[in-house]
């Protein structure tokens, strides 16, 4: 099946600054794709190219079988939430949603359910948008993107400013859409949200894609922490794929890369009192990928 959205070798420069450097990014039908990267990495630029707001300098862009910049009808099946959505403050919430549904040329078939999940009631929708708090503005931003049940949702930091209850509703809403066969590309700094929601993750840094895969695949590429408590404090430890980090008596801390089976076999041959292999969290994966930049 063809991809719902695809960037191939896409580059974008703003003057001397290279925002994107020949990146590839795909969103498959019925998948939730997480898009991770530090501030200024190029996430928003890539998303705006997918929506047709920016023109790529090089490479090809295909969204829902067309070019979103040239074929504006392609965007009828698209839902977009920018990182800082500009909402018409004088409109009431319901008016604003009606307006964007009319611009989308689609019925807001999902509004009721999405409102319930995001805890947005009629009284909220009857108020002018300018009276909304940051969280309320974010909720109505998500609603305008989702309400017409688009085939592709592009959400830039959708969880920003939402309280945990609403965030749980958002996660349920997005899973629900994925289960209905819709595709979602979303960026986030909340790694727990990405880990809970995403089928696949693409990581970007300095305009380049530096990692892609499922959370498990990305975790496998990262170092695990292995803590071994030896019965004999003077025993020699030489474990496959491991690098010694610290040794205090019989307690040895190592980092491990690669296949876990040879490691387990080697551990079984040792006189070990206790072993702990720490699961690699997405935070660790994220930090490892971005460590170079942080220390640069």
Partner 1 sequence: MNGPLIARLVREQRVRLPLEILLIGAWGFLLVAVFATSDVFTKQLEAQAKQFGGLLDLIGLDPLAQWASIGFQHPIFLLGGGLFAVGVGIRAIAGELEAGSLALALSRPIARRTWFLSHLLVLVVGCLIISEAYALGCLLATAFTSPMGHLEASWMLLAGAQGGLLLLALGGIAFVISAFSSERGRALSWTVGIVVILYAGNFLLPLWGPTKELAKISPFGWFNPAPLLQRGDVAWGDWVVLALYAAIPLAVAAWQFARRDLAGG
* Partners of 212 in the β-ladder: 202
Closest separation between CB of residue 14 and partner 1, Å?
Answer: 7
Give SS3 for 65: coil
- Binding mask 50-79 toward partner 1 (x if CB under 8 A, else -) reads -xxxxx----------------xxxxx-x-
Q: Does 48 contact partner 1 by CB under 8 A?
A: yes
Residues 115-154 that bind partner 1 (CB under 8 A): 144
Closest separation between CB of residue 51 and partner 1, Å?
Answer: 5
Closest separation between CB of residue 246 and partner 1, Å?
Answer: 48
Among 104, 138, 187, 222, binds partner 1 (CB under 8 A): 104
Q: In this structure, what token pair is assigned to residue 83?
A: 């990182």
**158 Cβ partners below 8 Å, 6+ apart?**
81, 138, 141, 142, 170, 174, 186, 188
Among 29, 60, 84, 274, binds partner 1 (CB under 8 A): 84
**Closest to 136 in 3D by CA, of 85, 175, 171:** 85
- Binding mask 227-256 toward partner 1 (x if CB under 8 A, else -) reads ------------------------------
CA 108 distance to own-chain centroid: 25
Going by the DSSP 8-state scheme, the letter that residue 26 receives in this structure is E
Give 221: exposed, middle or buried? Use CB within 10 Å, 0-12, 13-18, 19+.
middle
Contacts with partner 1 by CB under 8 A lie at 14, 45, 48, 51-55, 72-76, 78, 80, 82, 84-88, 90, 99-100, 102-105, 144
């Amino acid at each position: 099946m063809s991809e719902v959205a695809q960037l191939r070798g896409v580059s974008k420069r703003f003057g001397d600054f290279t925002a994107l450097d020949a990146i590839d990014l795909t969103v498959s039908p019925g998948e939730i794709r997480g898009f991770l990267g530090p501030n200024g990495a190029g996430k928003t630029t890539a998303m705006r190219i997918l929506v047709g707001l920016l023109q790529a300098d090089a490479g090809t862009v295909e969204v829902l079988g067309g070019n979103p910049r040239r074929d504006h009808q392609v965007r009828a099946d698209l839902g977009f939430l920018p990182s800082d959505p500009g909402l018409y403050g004088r409109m009431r919430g319901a008016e604003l949603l009606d307006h964007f549904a009319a611009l989308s040329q689609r019925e807001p078939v999902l509004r009721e359910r999405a409102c319930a999940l995001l805890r947005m009631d009629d009284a909220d929708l009857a108020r002018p948008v300018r009276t909304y708090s940051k969280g309320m503005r974010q909720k109505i931003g998500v609603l305008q993107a989702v309400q017409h049940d688009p085939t592709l949702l592009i959400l830039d930091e959708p969880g920003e400013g939402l309280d945990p209850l609403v965030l749980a509703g958002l996660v349920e809403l997005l899973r629900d859409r994925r289960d209905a066969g819709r595709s979602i590309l979303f960026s986030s700094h909340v790694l727990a949200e990405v880990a809970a929601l995403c089928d696949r993750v693409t990581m970007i840094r300095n305009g380049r894609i530096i990692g892609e895969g499922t959370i498990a695949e990305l975790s496998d590429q990262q170092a695990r922490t292995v803590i071994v408590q030896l019965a004999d404090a003077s025993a020699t430890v030489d474990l496959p794929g491991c690098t010694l980090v610290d040794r205090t008596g019989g307690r040895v801390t190592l980092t491990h890369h690669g296949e876990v089976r040879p490691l387990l076999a080697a551990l079984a041959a040792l006189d070990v009192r206790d072993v702990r292999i720490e699961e690699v969290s997405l935070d660790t994966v994220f930090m490892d990928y971005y460590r170079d930049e942080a220390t640069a």
